Structure 1
Amino acid sequence: QADLGLNEHHQNEVVSYMRFARFKRGMCLKTVDSCFQNLKDSRLVEETFTVDEVIDLLDELQSVVHSEVESELINTAYTNVLLLQQLFSQAEKWYLKLQTDVSDLENRELLGQVAEFEKSEYTSSNEKSTADPIKPKLAPLNEGGSELLNKTVAHLQEENEKLKTRLRTIETQATAALDEKSKLEKSLRDLQMIQGDQKNNANQDITELENKVAALKSQFEKTLNDSTANQKFLEEDLMTTKHDLLKVQDQLSTAEKELEKKFQQTAAYRNMKEILTRKNEQIKDLRRRLSK
């Protein structure tokens, strides 16, 4: 009997998977056969066909078979991925890392061994027509459990030592940080004291400056008030002078009018006025004559 070099449990699992694969392969072949049979039953109803008709029939058959085979190949690939996922999940529970060698998948010698194994397994038994595609998950590996546990404990102890070393380093750094903090706090207090003294001196200087500003402000206000009073006095004096000037001008105008009135009442003024009147009459008479 052919042997794949596995223990009995794993070899039984391989046999179970091969039954499933054999069933799927048979179903795929039946599907391909049905494609040809459907073509015979539905299209080959005439005795003669032209070249174009034969080409159309073959193209149609090729398309159908291509689609069926492609679908089955894709499904087979996905099935293999699910199988690997089951194996890897169980291995990860025990912190194992499995590896695969894709190049061995095309090794003719190994493929021949698998073919011999399948042949020997099914020579004495009848092929089942159906198979359950859903397989129970493999139980976790029990072999080498103690050794793996010891490795895990050793790894945890090593990690613990690393953490202790790191903790001591952090404690040292924390102590140094506290010392530095104390020094900084002392420096801060000294600086605050110096700033307090400087602040007191600054406050005293500010007070003196404020007093000087207040004195200057008072003096300025006094000067401004004096200027305002003087300006008011000058304005009142100016108004009085203006009134006096207007009064004098009015008196002068009155005197001029009286003088003119008196002058008009004199004999010389009357004679001069009569002479001017006669001269005007003579000029008018001359103008009339000249106009004729």
Structure 2
Amino acid sequence: MAELGLNEHHQNEVINYMRFARFKRGLCLKTVDSCFQDLKDSRLVEETFTVDEVIDMLDGLRTVVHSEVESELINTTYTNVLLLRQLFSQAEKWYLKLQTDVSELENRELLEQVAEFEKSEFTASNKKPSTDLIKPKLAPLNEGGSELLNKTVACLQEENEKLRTRLKTVETQANANQDITELENKVAALKCQFEKTLNDSTANQKFLEEDLVTTKHDLLKVQDQLSLAEKELEKKFQQTAAYRNMRELLSKKNEQIKDLRRKISKYEPED
């Protein structure tokens, strides 16, 4: 049996459409046949006709058949558009974008494959009862009962749970990282403050040590200058007349004292 490369459900849908198309085609052919039959019944009542009469009858027949065939072809086109609309409408509910290749509609190999499929499905020996081939319409997606929809929803829910779990993990890690970051910032601030205090203390200590050394140097310098000043003052004082007179007076007094002691010693009794 010929196949179209579709799953069973879609192949049954194709069979239903082909049955509809065969029915419409049969009606069209019956209409064309009736046009010829009407011509026979209404015009072919005489045994002989002139050329003009035959041409007139054929023109009339052509006009009627042309109108009927054109009307049926237009209706077939509109019917195909409605069929595509159903398919596209269902696809859009799944946010799908279907594409068609018009060039494939004239693919002779594929057309022959469809013809073989129709022949195998609708021949008298393989023809199934009409009750077996009539399929219900596809249920709209918003009325439930779609196994694929249920599976997709379940899959999305499972994925959503995974994302929620992942989000909680990330939030926990983020909070932990935030706590660690805050602690690191505090430690860094304390370290910076300690280093600043230590540097200030070291600078102050160095300044005090340098100031003490400078003060000691200044003190020694002042002491040395004072000693020199005292010596210079004493030297200058010794060079003054008052100093010389005082020394002479002091020397005289010492001589007088010595003389008085000699005199006193003469009057003292011997032991």
TM-score by length of 1: 0.47
Amino acid at match of 1:20: F
Do the aligned partners of residues 128 and 45 (structure 1) sit closer, same or farther apart at CA in structure 2, a change above 3 Å counting? Answer: farther
* In structure 2, distance between residues paired with 1:127 and 1:42: 41
Do the aligned partners of residues 125 and 2 (structure 1) sit closer, same or farther apart at CA in structure 2, a change above 3 Å counting? Answer: closer
Q: Give 5+ residue unaligned stretches, structure 1.
A: 158-292
* In structure 1, distance between residues paired with 2:85 and 2:97: 12
Q: Give 5+ residue unaligned stretches, structure 2.
A: 164-271
Give the CA deviation at 1:137: 3.8
Give the CA deviation at 1:136: 2.4
Indicate the residue corresponding to 1:71 in structure 2. Answer: 71
Most deviating of 4-13 and 138-147:
138-147
Q: Is the 8 A contact 1:3 1:117 kept in 2?
A: yes
Give the CA deviation at 1:149: 6.5
Indicate the residue corresponding to 1:113 in structure 2. Answer: 113
Do the aligned partners of residues 111 and 138 (structure 1) sit closer, same or farther apart at CA in structure 2, a change above 3 Å counting? Answer: farther
Indicate the residue corresponding to 2:152 in structure 1. Answer: 146
| Runs of 4+ in structure 1 over 6 Å off | none
Indicate the residue corresponding to 1:88 in structure 2. Answer: 88
Indicate the residue corresponding to 1:5 in structure 2. Answer: 5
Amino acid at match of 1:146: T
* In structure 2, distance between residues paired with 1:5 and 1:93: 25
Indicate the residue corresponding to 2:196 in structure 1. Answer: none
The answer to whether structure 1 residue 136 and structure 2 residue 142 are counterparts is no
Do the aligned partners of residues 134 and 117 (structure 1) sit closer, same or farther apart at CA in structure 2, a change above 3 Å counting? Answer: closer
Do the aligned partners of residues 126 and 11 (structure 1) sit closer, same or farther apart at CA in structure 2, a change above 3 Å counting? Answer: closer
Q: Identity percentage over the alignment? A: 73
Q: Is the 8 A contact 1:87 1:138 kept in 2?
A: no
Amino acid at match of 1:136: K
Q: Is the 8 A contact 1:35 1:64 kept in 2?
A: yes
The answer to whether structure 1 residue 47 and structure 2 residue 53 are counterparts is no
* In structure 2, distance between residues paired with 1:15 and 1:148: 33
TM-score by length of 2: 0.50
* In structure 2, distance between residues paired with 1:73 and 1:148: 46
SS in 2 for 1:109: helix
Amino acid at match of 1:90: Q
